[in-house]
Structures are given as structure tokens and as C-alpha cells.
Amino acid sequence: MKLINFINFYYRYKGNEEYALRKINLKIEDNKFILLCGETGSGKTSLIRCMNGLIPQFYAGFYKGKVEVDGKDTSEVPIADLSTKVGIVFQNPENQLIAMNVEHEIAFGLENLGKQHNEIKKKIREVVNITEIEHLLDKAPFELSGGEQQRVAIASILALEPKILILDEPTALLDPQMAEKIIIMLKKIQIEKKITIIISEHRLDLLLPLVNEIILIKNGEILEYGSKENVINGENFQKMNINRPVIYSIFKELKRNNLYTKALPSSIFEAINYLTKLD
């Protein structure tokens, strides 16, 4: 099922002559784990802002074309309505947390939707279980570590049962072990809930093994969108200024020396698999 549909979309921020997004045609389906990948300033955050109507409704600017979420035009449907379909977690979750404690934080969105008390309780139990934050329910957001805040922000959004969850550099402020835990947790959520998760991230080593699709964006244009296997073996991925994982560059070097002919691996697991079945 098609969840997000960009139709020949262009956007420039007010006061800027250059378009931040150009000729965007992109169809995103349900039940996918997608990496949004591009250099700094390539338009990743602008693209994300289009997916819940912040562009063009909140950010003043000029646009052409159309973006549809779940079949509805994002320039017409109120952002509040879109936010039940698309949840966004930004890099610094501290800015997103407002309630007195974690339980209230998760309940907040549900109360705004007019949900019944019992239903809210049930939903909270479900999302704290999947994000493993049962022990934090009574804590105030400022008492939490960066990783815990990130989990609470994800739980609050999951409670609204969005069809799409988008995370803009979610691990940037976390230490590597916590970053790995969050990414693995997101993969688990994606599989269990069968939702589409889109992650914009510079640290590809953690994410590349787990995603199924990759969007490559450069200078405000979509360079490529497709299955992970196709994208990482294509020229665009190899040419871009992105932090390709070490395992990928090792095999790239073997390929350059004509010692390896199969697909380039996205993970150590794949690499070992290829090596043990050489022919």
C-alpha cells in the first residue's frame, strides 16, 4: 500500500532563492525499514518536514507539486491530523518532552485524541513494553539519560499508532552501545507493528545491516530509491560523500583488484557468508 506519495514536488524556504527540494517523485509503501542517506545540507530534514505537513504548512516558503500521505494532500489536512499517521522523532528528544513524568508524556497525545482512560492505560502498557521503559514511568523527562529520553519520545509517538515513524539522526547524541540498542529496538518495532520506519542517519555501520530500502538524496533531488542491495551496489552510493562502513570498503577494494565478484556486503554477517561460499 502506498503511504507517502511525492508528485513532482519543489520547495524553497522563504528568503532563499535556491530550492531546498527539487523534482521530488517518491512513492513509499507500508512495512518497510528505510534509510534516508545524503550529505550535510542535501535536503534530508526538509524532505522529512514534508511528510507530516510541516512543509508547506508551518515553514513559510514557496512550493510546486503535491505530497500525499495516506491519500490525503498534506497542504490541506491539518498537521494535527497528519501527526496521527506520521510520527517524527527529532535528534534532540529533550525538546519534544513536555510532561511532568513519562507516563503523562505518553498519555498526553492519547488524551488529546479523546481516548478513554482504559484504552490509554492499555496503550501505555503496550508501548512501554516494546520500548523497554517500564521502570521509567514515574520519572521526570529531565531525570532521564539521552538514550532513555529517545525511548520515551519513540514510545509517545508509537502510542498514537502512526503508520509511518520517521527519525532524524536519532543516535547522534548517544554513545555507541546505546545507539546500537535503539536501532535494534526500532527494527523490532518495525517487524512487530509492520509500520514503515524512515531513518536519516550519518552512521551507516549500525543501520545498513538492518534496512530494506535506501533513499539517496543530493542537492535537494532524489538520486536513487530502491532496495538496499541495488542501491549499495550502484554507482551513486559509491560516489557520495557518506560514511560507508569499513566492511563495505574492504570488499570494494577486493572487487577493484578483481578478487571478488559478488554483491558488496552491508554487514559482517553477509561478508562472512560470501567468503565461505567463494567460487
Partner 1 sequence: MLNKLPIISIKELSYTYPNSTEALRNVNMNIYESELIGIMGKNGAGKTTLIRTLNGLIQPTKGSIFINGEIIKNKSIATLSKEVGIIFQNPSHQLFANSVEEEIKFSLKSLNLNKEELNFRVDKILKDFNLEKYRKRSPLNLSGGESKKLALASIICRDPKILVFDEPTLGQDAKEINMFINLIKNERKKGKTIIIITHNVEFAFEYIPRIILMTEGQIIADGPTSKVLNNEILIEKTSLILPQTRQFVMKLKESGFPDLDNLISKNQIIDYLMKFIRKEKTFIKGI
Cα 152 to Cα 136: distance, rounded to the nearest angstrom: 9
Name residues whose C-beta falls within 8 Å of residue 35's C-beta, 6 or more positions apart in sequence. Answer: 198, 199, 200, 201, 204, 207, 208, 211, 213, 214, 215, 228
User: x-or-dash pattern for partner 1, window 26-45, by CB under 8 A?
Assistant: ------------xxxx----
Side-chain half-sphere CA neighbours of 150 within 13 A: 24
Q: How far is the CB of 242 from partner 1 (least distance, A)?
A: 5
CA distance linking residue 267 with residue 220, whole number of Å: 28
Half-sphere exposure of 272 (CA within 13 A, CB side): 3
The Cα 213–Cα 228 span in angstroms is 5
* Binding flags for partner 1, 79-118, as an x/- string (CB under 8 A): ------------x---------------------------
Q: Least distance from C-beta 202 to partner 1, angstroms?
A: 6
Whole-number Å distance between alpha carbons of 204 and 206: 5
Note whether 60 binds partner 1 by CB under 8 A.
Answer: no
When binding is defined by CB under 8 A, the residue of 174, 197, 214, 216 that contacts partner 1 is 174
- Establish if 275 lies at the interface with partner 1 (CB under 8 A): yes
Q: Which alpha helices (DSSP H) does the chain contain, by range?
A: 44-50, 79-82, 102-112, 117-130, 146-158, 176-193, 204-207, 228-232, 235-239, 246-256, 268-276
CB 197 within 8 A of CB 167: yes
Nearer to partner 1, 36 or 159 (CB): 36
Q: How many residues bind partner 1 (CB under 8 A)?
A: 41
Look at the block and give the residue holding cell 546500537. Answer: 180
If the CB atoms of residues 76 and 253 are measured against partner 1, the closer one turns out to be 253
Nearer to partner 1, 68 or 201 (CB): 201
In the complex, the smallest distance separating the C-beta of residue 75 from partner 1, rounded to whole angstroms, is 26
CB-wise, 93 or 245, nearer to partner 1?
Answer: 245
Nearer to partner 1, 4 or 133 (CB): 133
Which residues ranging from 200 to 259 are in contact with partner 1 (CB under 8 A)?
A: 202, 205, 240-247, 249-250, 253-254, 257, 259
The nearer residue to partner 1, 83 or 150, going by C-beta atoms, is: 150
Give, as ranges, the residues between 111 and 170 that touch partner 1 (CB under 8 A).
145-146, 169
Compute the distance between CA of residue 44 and CA of residue 164 in angstroms, rounded to an integer: 16
Least CB distance from residue 245 to partner 1, whole Å?
6
Residue 77 CA from chain centroid, whole number: 22
Closer Cβ to partner 1, 110 or 179, answer by number: 179
Q: What would the grid cell of residue 80 be? A: 494535527
Positions touching partner 1 (CB under 8 A) are: 38-41, 91, 145-146, 169, 172-178, 180, 202, 205, 240-247, 249-250, 253-254, 257, 259-260, 268-269, 271-272, 275-276, 278-279
